[in-house]
Structure 1
Amino acid sequence: MPADDSEIALEPWKPNPVEGYPKLACHMGQYSENAIFRRFGSLNSQNLLYLQAEITHLERDLRDLESIDNQTQQGSDRVFASNWYWLDDSRHDESHPQLQLVLAIRAKLKEYNGFIIQQATIQQLSRPDEYDIRALQDWLDRPAMGNLAFEGADRHTWGDLKTPINPDSDLLALSSRGEVSSDPFSCWFSEKFVPWFHHIFWHRVKKPQDLETGIARYRDDAIHRFTLSITTVVASLLPVLAIIILYCVKSMSTRLGLVGLFTTIFSFSLMVFTNAKRGEIFAATST
């Protein structure tokens, strides 16, 4: 007798992409920090240069044609430069090519301006973090993950674990770490301390999010809140500690030495725990 519908336990569907582009795409969709792609900076610039050259030639032809039409003594050609009606009226007259040239330039300018805006947007995307590149390289290299499945010309896009990362690599990251690694301390904590702590101890407590790959994920906002708490504690204790120590020390020469020491510690803390600029560090230290 078949089981009732209420007794049938349906397991949730889980994608099982094949190795190569499908599996890498699913990985990038799940871990946005690994969505790293080629910028194609030189090709985009070359494309803009070609369009620029093409429009430049069209512009020169238009200026020459405008000058010729302006000097014509017969017909409406001489008023094309000052009366749009007559220029538009020549739309279907092949003996007056000025309007056709204007429309061709308009189409090319639309294409050119679109590429300019796209290129400006691409240039604003940040470079991928070195830690994220290494994480993606590690994923591509492991047999249970990427398994070095790519065989085409793009297989060297992200480099490999055996070679140093090129700082001038033509790569961009769709997702930036933002506040998590906005200062040296947060960057060190998220990229060095958390992986080390997980490897030494916390892997016994935190189970992998994906059992197939063994990847354990830590939320960026949780890491940010923790590093913010540490920064707040340091910022609160440092001036209080300085006041207490200076109060307890009676020797004036020792006090002056401690003032210099605490000033140095304060400046170093600004550099490590914040993303303050040099001018801001100088101003805060002087204050």
Structure 2
Amino acid sequence: MGSQVQPPRQPEGYHKLAMLMGPNTEVAIFRRFGSLNMFNLLFMQAELMELERKFTTACLDDAASDINAVKEYCRNFVKLRKSDQHENKDQLQLLQTIRQKLQDYTLTLAADVANLQRPENNNLDLLKKWLQTDSLGNNFLTGTEARTWSAKHKGDFVVLSAPPSDNVPLLPSLSSLPLNIFHRCFGKSRSRIPDLETGVLKYNDLAFRRFNKLIVTTVASILPIVAIVVLYAVKGTWRRIYVTIGFTALFGIAMACTNARKAEIFAATAAFAAVEVVFIGSVSGS
């Protein structure tokens, strides 16, 4: 009897989801549990306040003690550390408890979770679609876990990898338009094979960013010349004003698709509009 070769086993469930999130950190989206974090901080704060009260009382009691060695606890930490060998060790025990609680409280308070960026809508939609597709996530989430990425918690999501807020395009949907068009036209080509483990088709993000930058730079470079030509061809001051509004808006949209900051977009758009206004004035006066 010949032996039958078994196909390689593929990861499923959370293992497969982890393999998706590992190299694609833009979809590594998690809940930060904002309300629970605040409740936990409030609980630890109240606990520390009670410990602080008890510790203060213990310090005052030791300072008023009839035992000279106990009185020295507030002046000599060596004796305080050695107090665990004696009966009067409440102050040291409370201090040790406070130290651990305070460390946990400080770490929680200084956690970077609150400073993480929110995920982009298209990446969140991609993650949900992956989970719901039979050949990918296969709806493996059950029970309360099935509501982890529900729309109810949309404001509570954070992403582990996200560009700084200053580098996020004002119109991310337009910035991703070339990639969406390319995927629809060529993404299903036989020459492009999805990742065998996650089923995700990957593209070179850097290449598309450069392509977007090339397109936007070309459009932004041509717009002033095109605007001048159109303004020269159009007759009438009011018509030229309407054309100026249209070209200025188009220039602003093109700039919004880049990683330029809001102040830079405003300055560039204002300069572009100023050139148009000067040209209208010179043409109208001639």
Whichever structure has more helix as a proportion of its residues is: 2
User: Which residue of structure 2 aligns with residue 21 of structure 1?
Assistant: 14
Does the Cα contact within 8 Å between 2:175 and 2:258 map onto a contact in 1?
no
Query: 2:10 and 2:36 mapped to 1: Cα distance?
Result: 35
1:124 and 2:110 aligned: no
| Unaligned residue ranges in structure 2 (runs of 5+) | 1-6, 272-286
Q: Deviations over 1:136-177 (max 9, x none)?
A: 222222221222222232122123xxxxx4474432222226
User: Which residue of structure 2 aligns with residue 33 of structure 1?
Assistant: 26
Query: 1:75 and 1:212 mapped to 2: Cα distance?
Result: 71
User: Which residue of structure 2 aligns with residue 157 of structure 1?
Assistant: 148
Query: 1:256 and 1:81 mapped to 2: Cα distance?
Result: 83
1:137 and 2:128 aligned: yes
Which runs of structure 2 are paired with 1:17-96 in the superposition (5 Å)? 17=11, 19-72=12-65, 74-96=67-89
Structure 2 counterpart of 1:176, from 162, 180, 186: 162
Q: What amino acid does structure 1 have at the position aligned with 2:130?
A: W
| SS class of match (1:172) | strand
Q: What amino acid does structure 2 have at the position aligned with 1:195?
A: N
Does the Cα contact within 8 Å between 2:33 and 2:156 map onto a contact in 1?
yes
The range that moved more, 87-96 or 131-140, is: 87-96
Query: 2:8 and 2:122 mapped to 1: Cα distance?
Result: 29
Change (3 A) 1:93 1:212: closer
Higher RCO (Cα < 8 Å, 6 or more apart): 2
Q: Deviations over 1:6-38 (max 9, x none)?
A: xxxxxxx96611x32222222333533332223
Structure 1 counterpart of 2:180, from 169, 174, 195: 195
Shift of residue 213, structure 1, vs aligned partner = 7.2
| Unaligned residue ranges in structure 1 (runs of 5+) | 1-12, 160-164
Shift of residue 263, structure 1, vs aligned partner = 4.2
* TM-score normalised to structure 1 length: 0.75
Query: 2:191 and 2:122 mapped to 1: Cα distance?
Result: 21
User: Which residue of structure 2 aligns with residue 270 of structure 1?
Assistant: 255
Query: 1:110 and 1:205 mapped to 2: Cα distance?
Result: 56
* TM-score normalised to structure 2 length: 0.75
User: Which residue of structure 1 aligns with residue 275 of structure 2?
Assistant: none
Shift of residue 242, structure 1, vs aligned partner = 4.1
| SS class of match (2:158) | strand
Query: 1:146 and 1:268 mapped to 2: Cα distance?
Result: 37
Change (3 A) 1:166 1:227: farther
Query: 2:100 and 2:198 mapped to 1: Cα distance?
Result: 50
Structure 2 counterpart of 1:101, from 94, 97, 101: 94
Does the Cα contact within 8 Å between 2:19 and 2:197 map onto a contact in 1?
no
| SS class of match (1:37) | strand
Does the Cα contact within 8 Å between 1:270 and 1:276 map onto a contact in 2?
no
Q: Deviations over 1:174-205 (max 9, x none)?
A: 222669x8214554342x44334422455337
Shift of residue 253, structure 1, vs aligned partner = 3.8
Query: 1:259 and 1:130 mapped to 2: Cα distance?
Result: 33
Change (3 A) 1:128 1:267: closer
Q: What amino acid does structure 1 have at the position aligned with 2:10?
A: N
User: Which residue of structure 1 aligns with residue 224 of structure 2?
Assistant: 239
**How many residues get paired?**
263
Change (3 A) 1:239 1:101: same
User: Which residue of structure 2 aligns with residue 148 of structure 1?
Assistant: 139
Change (3 A) 1:261 1:138: closer
The range that moved more, 70-79 or 91-100, is: 70-79
